[in-house]
Amino acid sequence: MKKDKVLLVEDDSTLSFIIEDALTREGFDVVCASNGEEGIEKFKKITTDIIIADVMMPKMDGFEMVRRLRLINSNIPVLFLTARTGLEDVVKGFELGANDYLRKPFQILELVVRIKALLRRAHNGEAENSRLTLSDSSLDFASQRLAIGSEIIELTHTEAVILDELFRHPNEVVEARTLMMRIWQNDDYNNLNRLHGFIYKIRKYLSKSEYLELLNVRGIGYKLATSMKF
């Protein structure tokens, strides 16, 4: 079975070794680069399935590297690692073509979960449009904001992931298992209780909409129902 190949671009040698070791144990084929210039050189020489890139690096930062790589390949998944906390930097990363980001410090397990989710979506050929609109509401996954009419709601990453899945499948039943696997790569019963908590908050957000309603489908999952054409 072919292993998914990860191009890891990280200038911190210790962190790079830890990530490489962990991903190798998870069954990935990992190629490492220490800065953006080296990352571009290696990308041109190998077939890569996903790019994991630090933002702040010497010679060429992650933003510039991804900007250039997107001229070569506009579809490959990109996940940024960043110590920056400003929303502006996160938004900039998405605008340059990132598919996800993870703030440092992070748990290796969370990185693995994010990588598997991005690869699964890439293999399934799902479109990566970070801005979605339904009726009077729009979701901007990049900035993790939900707009309902003129009101803007700041979301957590998990809330944004759940809404992204629901907005992509309006008036369809989205299984709870699908959401848990996308968020945690695990459909354990304890995660189901955690999911219910997020759904409760999201339902409160959507109660501000005139046309959207988040419904429970007993024993299966949830449906984002809309009473207005979009």
Whole-number pLDDT of residue 228: 60
Whole-number pLDDT of residue 6: 97
DSSP percent split of the chain into helix, strand, coil, nearest 5: 45, 25, 35
Confidence of residue 110 (pLDDT cuts 50, 70, 90): confident
Q: What is the pLDDT of residues 199-224, one digit of tens each?
A: 999 999 999 999 999 999 998 999 99
Whole-number pLDDT of residue 74: 78
pLDDT, greater one: 227 or 206: 206
Whole-number pLDDT of residue 95: 74
User: Could you identify the residue written with the tokens 């298992």?
Assistant: 177
Structure tokens at 81: 């690692």
Residue 197: Cβ-neighbour burial (10 angstroms; 0-12, 13-18, 19+): exposed
Q: What is the pLDDT of residues 20-29, one digit of tens each?
A: 999 999 999 9
Residue 9 has pLDDT above 90, yes or no: yes
Task: Please give the Cα distance from 91 to 143 (Å, whole number).
Answer: 5
At position 85, the amino acid (one-letter code) is T
Contact 24, 30 (CB under 8 A): yes
Whole-number pLDDT of residue 14: 95
Task: Please give the Cα distance from 98 to 67 (Å, whole number).
Answer: 9
Q: What is the pLDDT of residues 119-166, one digit of tens each?
A: 887 777 654 556 889 999 999 876 778 999 999 999 887 898 899 899
Whole-number pLDDT of residue 75: 83
Whole-number pLDDT of residue 186: 72
CA distances from 140 to 8, 96, 175 (A): 27, 15, 22
Confidence of residue 185 (pLDDT cuts 50, 70, 90): low
Task: Please give the Cα distance from 195 to 182 (Å, whole number).
Answer: 11
Q: What is the pLDDT of residues 44-100, one digit of tens each?
A: 999 899 999 999 998 899 999 999 998 888 788 999 998 765 666 667 777 777 888
Beta strands in the chain (DSSP E): 5-9, 29-33, 50-54, 78-82, 100-103, 131-134, 137-140, 145-148, 151-154, 173-175, 212-217, 221-226
Give the global pTM.
0.60
Question: What end-to-end distance do the CA atoms of the chain give, in Å?
Answer: 42
Whole-number pLDDT of residue 129: 58
For residue 224, the tally of other CB atoms under 10 A from its CB is: 23
